Structure 1
Amino acid sequence: MDLPADPLVSRATAWTRRLVPVLLAALATLAYGMLGTQQFRNLVARSWDLGIFTQLVRAYGELRAPIVPIKGDDVNLLGDHFHPLLAVLAPVWWVWPSGEALLWAQALLFGLSAIPLTRLAIDRLGPGLGSLAGGAYVFSFGMQSAASVQFHEIALAVPLLALSLTALLRGKVRVAVLWAAPLVLVKEDLGLTVALLGGLIALQHRDRRREGIALAAWGALWFVLSTFVILPLLNTGGQYDYTDNLGSPLEVFWPPVKWITVLMLLLMAGVIGGRSPLIWLMVPTLAWRFTGTVEFYWDWYWHYNAVLMPIALAAMLDALGDRRTGRATSWWRADAPRPVRRIRVTAVAATAAVTLVLGPAMPVLDVLRPSRWEPTWRAEPAAAALAAVPDGAVLAVDITLMAQAVPDHDVQWIHGPNERVPDCVLGDRYAFSWADAPPQDLELWAEQEWGVDYRTQFEDGGFTVVCRA
């Protein structure tokens, strides 16, 4: 049930509650969007993911199946990860057909997630601590690192989790269930998170046990269905591609970088958030990451921690309780006394400190550095290289200009399993995907790779374009 309104709340507090969450959302959207623009225009490519998702959203925008030739000529990306909810981004392509648009869409989703959580924090902690907690959340290390490595499907999960957990802490269990349900369509592993949330609701809310059991069954069903049925069915290899990335459960606690990540997450939850049952919602995500053999699964610096940020803040707010009731929480131990102010201040300070201590390593600060806005010397050659490729051509390209090439070309991965012979090949000798060993003659390399004749159409700034004779 809803908590009663506090008659002692001042007008200033009421205005803070209205304005601060919106201001934080706008500031975060602007900061992360500008970071995306800065990277896009300076040819910063963290991986091939932005190109992949740009091609995916283009397919949805053109009302086609999500075939992504970057992964392979006949690859349906729903056979790679299960994220059909990304189809809601099709209108973004209609308005702004560019990979840069996806970066702004993600920035907006991150920013919007701050509104319900910050408003809840202000209600529970007061205007000062609540605003600080909201700011620490939206500029947390998980959000910044996700924005820095560019677009991923988890962008949709962040606001859904924020809305669901906020509703749960306000006692609106049915609303929490409805916001959590679509998470199973964002990524296959989130079905386990949804199932666990349903289990917690069933255990802690006897009057809502039916809804909790239904949500748990929904999450478990979609995890099994997506991982073991849908993904193998749509996968060109007839399998779930990431099974081989899982190692032994005995390695889950090693190497030490995993402990550092856990410590950072615990600090993000104000440490006291470890008392809340909500902290267990981190376990499914951490389990597959820490049993994985891919090293960047373990670290704090990638997009995987973004989905854990709403959980961390919600767990802290749950454990710190509500200033209007004087109790620790509203949903699992109504008889617990609320922690004293010193503990509340320390907890909120910890959430801010875990990001601030990283200092210059935080990517969002690049937005404030004038030197980062200076056009790279390769901007003009990059534009000229893209212009040298005829519109609609089948183009094999490496990492650097992959996302930029998608709107006007049928893009393939230059090193990928391509069955079609590309019309043109665009290579960047400075791209990290060449592993510091780019071909000295891209024309000769392409002829050897595909067995047809190519002629050089453009060469400048490290970029070379060759097209079929």
Structure 2
Amino acid sequence: MAVTDDTTKTPDGASTPPAEDRADERAKTAADEDAAPVVASEPLAPPEPRGAAAWGGPLVVALLAAATYATFSVLQWRRFESPSWDLGIFTQLARRYAHVEAPIVTIKGDGFNLLGDHFHPLLTLLGVPYRVFPHALTLLIVQGLLFAASVYVVGRHAVRLLGALQGTLVGAAYAVSFGLVGAVAAQFHEIAFAVPLLALSLVALLRERWLAAALWAAPLVFVKEDLGLTVAALGLVLWWKMRGRDTQRPSLGLWLTGWGFGWTVLSTAVLIPALNTQDQWDYGSRIDVGAIVTHPWTAITLLVDDGSKVVTLLLLVAITGFIGVRSPILLVALPTIMWRFYADNGYYYGHTWHYSAVLMPIAFAALLDGVLLARRSPRGWLRRYSFAAAPVAVAVAAMLVPQLDVARLGRPDDLWAQSSRAVEARQVLATIPDDAVVETDIGLMSYLVDRTDVFYVGNTGNPAPDYVLIDQYGGGWNPAPNDAAQDAQDRFPGTTFRIVYNAGGYQLAQRTS
């Protein structure tokens, strides 16, 4: 009686399973391949470029960014555009540091120590370039160079991960991102030092250079008091990333978190009040912490209760190619988002000005981390999208450019054109002698701080000045006084002033007694 054998023989005599079993194995193999992190039919990550290909593109983009930022700042300066009083304030600070003096900034008030406003001891570094080039424009150039340095750092790592072409384009997208361009247009702010430090720290984190990431992040607490919370958040992400990967320093991230949180508490509760004329941290009252604690659901609703907030959040996510939401690095942006959106100041909510500058290194680091994480995903569609995320981020950045201030460089009749009041501005400035005490608004404030003692006209308690300068069109008045001399006499009883210049919307009153 014959015995039926369902196996077949191969030419070398080995047995194989029957057809139906082989079909089951093929189905199982196909399922395993779909779940595998890498599929042979999918594109592989490009090899890391070597030599000039690795740094050439990012360096060119960084140099172009520096030139673009500097050109914008110089043209803006030439047109006598003053978005705010910040440049005047920080120029006074740099002038004091250049002569190794306490940062007494009279624009904020008579005898006002600026370390009693915000905690930024790292700005002592501004004293060096200002001593060599004692000009307010120096601060704008320094800020542009610091931003450009961060462009190289981000672009260089993008090239490592994405290849020369795509990585260079990501660096260019970062250079024209809304946060950096907005900060350049808003002129100097202390966050200029935070941007490159964040870029260096986050790139070190992505490269798993844990100690370097912590060391680059640590000085952020000396840039501005709220950045201590950013450092604390970065420390938690560092700890999460290090789990099981560095057994020698397992608590490094937690130490960094303690460092950041501790300095925020110390600076806001002790150091700033000790140097403040009112013995307080002036910005603490802008957030109603008690209301948030007693009504915790507002912690979420306050993030989306204004259209400007929603737009800012959408732009932040979009500029990461949407893949940044997969990365825990995006959580480092939470402290900045929260203090801005919880405050009672509408200027904080939008994506313009300098408030989003520190978010840009975080967003682009999250983009690069998100790409890397997606490549390792078991989901085939996500692995495939990981190769499209960077082009999406570049496209988003490119589409935003026409809406940003940098687009003014492409309009000959805008930033490149001479201001209609440039002649009058130069004449009124030439009327004021060096070392005079001047009370003024934001219009020409930044053009006087290098050679005179400037007080802000909106403060009470100013000493009687030698001159009062009013910009009726661009000084920030609502409305501006019609007679600068009479206005000065009303505010400083017992003094007399006379108008010595009145043209182009500028009124200059000189004290005669």
Q: Normalising by the residue count of structure 1, what TM-score does the alignment of the two structures yield?
A: 0.92
Whole-Å separation in 2 of the counterparts to 1:53 and 1:367: 26
Check if 1:294 corresponds to 2:345. yes
Counterpart code for 1:137: Y
Check if 1:20 corresponds to 2:57. yes
Partner secondary structure for residue 485 of structure 2: helix
Conserved in 1, the CA contact under 8 Å of 2:499 and 2:508?
A: yes
Partner of 2:404: 362
Check if 1:37 corresponds to 2:74. yes
Whole-Å separation in 2 of the counterparts to 1:267 and 1:153: 26
How far off is 1:315 after superposition?
Answer: 0.9
Check if 1:223 corresponds to 2:264. yes
Partner of 1:259: 310
Taking a change above 3 Å as real, the CA distance of residues 204 and 338 of structure 1, as seen in their structure-2 partners, is farther
How far off is 1:420 after superposition?
Answer: 1.1
Taking a change above 3 Å as real, the CA distance of residues 146 and 339 of structure 1, as seen in their structure-2 partners, is farther
Partner of 2:193: 156
Whole-Å separation in 2 of the counterparts to 1:418 and 1:22: 50
Partner secondary structure for residue 366 of structure 1: helix
How far off is 1:456 after superposition?
Answer: 2.1
Match among 442, 445, 450 for residue 492 of structure 2: 450
The correspondence of residues 305-454 of structure 1 with structure 2, limited to 5 A, is: 305-321=356-372, 328=376, 342-371=384-413, 372-435=415-478, 437-451=479-493, 452-454=495-497
Match among 284, 301, 323 for residue 335 of structure 2: 284
Counterpart code for 2:140: L
The correspondence of residues 173-184 of structure 1 with structure 2, limited to 5 A, is: 173-184=210-221
Conserved in 2, the CA contact under 8 Å of 1:140 and 1:352?
A: no
The number of aligned residues is 452
How far off is 1:317 after superposition?
Answer: 0.8
How far off is 1:100 after superposition?
Answer: 1.2
Partner secondary structure for residue 407 of structure 1: coil
Partner of 2:283: 242
Match among 287, 299, 303 for residue 354 of structure 2: 303
Counterpart code for 2:346: E
Deviations 1:345-389 (A, max 9, x none): 431133223333334321112223222222213212212211211
Partner of 1:463: 506
Whole-Å separation in 2 of the counterparts to 1:358 and 1:385: 38
Whole-Å separation in 1 of the counterparts to 2:138 and 2:346: 29
Partner of 2:29: none
How far off is 1:78 after superposition?
Answer: 0.7
Match among 110, 113, 117 for residue 73 of structure 1: 110
How far off is 1:338 after superposition?
Answer: 9.4
Partner secondary structure for residue 406 of structure 1: coil
Partner secondary structure for residue 110 of structure 2: coil
Partner secondary structure for residue 455 of structure 1: strand
Check if 1:213 corresponds to 2:213. no
Partner secondary structure for residue 392 of structure 2: helix
Conserved in 2, the CA contact under 8 Å of 1:320 and 1:338?
A: no
Partner secondary structure for residue 81 of structure 1: coil
Partner secondary structure for residue 303 of structure 1: coil
Whole-Å separation in 2 of the counterparts to 1:21 and 1:342: 26
Deviations 1:98-143 (A, max 9, x none): 2211111111111100112111111111112211111111111111
Whole-Å separation in 2 of the counterparts to 1:10 and 1:181: 30
Superposed CA RMSD in Å reads 2.0
Counterpart code for 1:240: W
Whole-Å separation in 2 of the counterparts to 1:415 and 1:315: 42
Counterpart code for 2:404: M
Taking a change above 3 Å as real, the CA distance of residues 274 and 381 of structure 1, as seen in their structure-2 partners, is same
The correspondence of residues 78-93 of structure 1 with structure 2, limited to 5 A, is: 78-93=115-130
Conserved in 1, the CA contact under 8 Å of 2:455 and 2:462?
A: no
Conserved in 1, the CA contact under 8 Å of 2:48 and 2:160?
A: no
Taking a change above 3 Å as real, the CA distance of residues 317 and 219 of structure 1, as seen in their structure-2 partners, is same
Whole-Å separation in 2 of the counterparts to 1:271 and 1:148: 26
Taking a change above 3 Å as real, the CA distance of residues 339 and 189 of structure 1, as seen in their structure-2 partners, is farther
Deviations 1:277-312 (A, max 9, x none): 111001000010110111111111121111011111
Partner secondary structure for residue 434 of structure 1: coil
How far off is 1:394 after superposition?
Answer: 0.8
Between stretches 241-250 and 15-24, larger displacement belongs to: 241-250
Structure 1 unaligned residues grouped into runs of 5+: 1-7, 329-334
Check if 1:119 corresponds to 2:156. yes
Conserved in 2, the CA contact under 8 Å of 1:70 and 1:412?
A: yes
Q: Normalising by the residue count of structure 2, what TM-score does the alignment of the two structures yield?
A: 0.84
Conserved in 1, the CA contact under 8 Å of 2:375 and 2:382?
A: no
Conserved in 2, the CA contact under 8 Å of 1:321 and 1:338?
A: no
Whole-Å separation in 2 of the counterparts to 1:341 and 1:26: 33
Between stretches 250-259 and 161-170, larger displacement belongs to: 250-259
The correspondence of residues 130-169 of structure 1 with structure 2, limited to 5 A, is: 130-169=167-206
Partner secondary structure for residue 361 of structure 2: helix
Partner secondary structure for residue 440 of structure 1: coil
Between stretches 247-256 and 105-114, larger displacement belongs to: 247-256
Taking a change above 3 Å as real, the CA distance of residues 339 and 420 of structure 1, as seen in their structure-2 partners, is farther
Whole-Å separation in 1 of the counterparts to 2:360 and 2:164: 21
Partner of 1:269: 320
Conserved in 1, the CA contact under 8 Å of 2:48 and 2:54?
A: no
Check if 1:62 corresponds to 2:105. no
Partner secondary structure for residue 267 of structure 2: helix
Partner secondary structure for residue 464 of structure 1: strand
Deviations 1:243-297 (A, max 9, x none): 2222454233301321211111011122111111111001000010110111111
Whole-Å separation in 2 of the counterparts to 1:252 and 1:54: 34
Whole-Å separation in 2 of the counterparts to 1:242 and 1:374: 39
Identity %: 43
Misfit runs of 4+, over 6 Å: 335-341
Conserved in 2, the CA contact under 8 Å of 1:123 and 1:130?
A: yes
Counterpart code for 2:279: G
